[in-house]
Structure 1
Amino acid sequence: MRMVDLNCDLGEGFPDDARIFPLISSANIACGFHAGNVDSMRRAVALAMSHGVTVGAHPSYRDRAGFGRRPVEILPDELAEQVLEQIEALRSAARLEGGEVRYLKPHGALYNRIAHDPEQADAVARAAATADLPLLGLAGSAIDAAARRHGVPFIAEAFADRGFLADGTLVPRTSPGAVLSDPEEVAERVVLMIETGTVQASTGEIVPVDARSLCVHGDSPDAVALLTAIRRRVPTVEAFA
């Protein structure tokens, strides 16, 4: 079985962070715009360091009320500045703990938008280039292309706990089958992704998945159970950064 990274969104105010860190290899830490503050960033970095987990910045639109899941219309230059502001906030917190931010993975609505919006994707890629950080995102998407244009290393990811459509995009959260919660089902999907490079879409089609990193959402009440089941089937994971 080939080696993969297992990443999770953390520092978002949910109760299971301390139980999740031992199960993952990379942590996407909220930088204050959708969740988190200096104290939560410092705690998350300290936990990551104690478990040998790589720290990544998890910036979003400025949308605490909507947890970063609402689309925002914003000029590209302003978006680039906001992403850089969040990276620097996490870097400052990490320095206080003796840690380092190693990559960038956008959150929520921003993540989804830059998968198909070339202008916003370019803004995020410019921010990553300025910050000298690799980008984690959806393979074959607008952000993948933008990262390559700006000379930013790009790491493709897939979601262990989300349903896929036949075109390889995620089932919208408002639709049935969007979020997967059965630990054994999710673990089996992960093994198939790793061994065959494919996943079954919600409509039955077999979809190619080219991913170096797999994500489980830390805000899911089933996150610990899902990650535990995955690690039973995939005993060793390795950070990409």
Structure 2
Amino acid sequence: MEALRSIPCLVQKFQGLLYSTAMAVPTKAVEFYLDSRRLIEELVQSYTEPYTDKLLPDLLPQEQHVFTLVLDLNETLIHYIWTRDTGWQTFKRPGVDAFLEHLAQFYEIVVYTDEQNMFVDPVIERLDTKHCIRYRLSRPATKYQDGKHFRDLSKLNRNPGKVLYLSGHALESCLQPENCVPIKAWQQQDIDDTALLDFIPFLEFVARSSPSDIRPVLASYEGCDIPSEFIRRSKEHQRRMQEQKHRGRFWK
């Protein structure tokens, strides 16, 4: 991080040095400046942009209909803390095992976090013993912007209409708010949390009904608690279906 902050200062100092040199040797200095500036820009981009434009491999032809469920890690699936007495401790959110195992039947599940590989890999190995998570993306796959690491779903190599990003900090950590599915951020003190389990009916319905574009669906839930609103809408739909059935019987 310090390296990122120091890059603009280095560029300014370097440009000043090259300008003074150019007064004496204009042509060579300009060529040297252009080559060096290109190298610096490439260095800056390597820190700020995802390492590739295709973070995930192509879907198989028979999987083109499958939705991709992108999950954040900290305060979404787990919570970790550090204390002087215990060091680092990682806690698993209640319901995470059932959540992953059930939804792996319907989704391509991807973990996308701003944590480093050295942290993510051992945590996922312990968290996902049944290998429900197909891919894991860590900090080098994020876009560094305005001092934060953002998830850039446009780099996933997936149809944007079939991507959902579930996170306890969804709207603050993703560059595509139209794909965001906010969930309550979790900390280990909340041992009665059911948020992951509460989302299963909605997410299964999406996978089974397979809308052509999930973004208008998510927009219709904006400002709502999605699991609660989904149950309300489902009950309302059932009520209307019952009314139609009774009308049909009456007119017969």
Which has the greater radius of gyration? Answer: 2
Shorter-chain TM-score: what band? under 0.3
Q: TM-score, normalised by structure 2?
A: 0.27
Q: TM-score, normalised by structure 1?
A: 0.28
> Comparing both structures, which one devotes a greater share of its residues to helix?
2
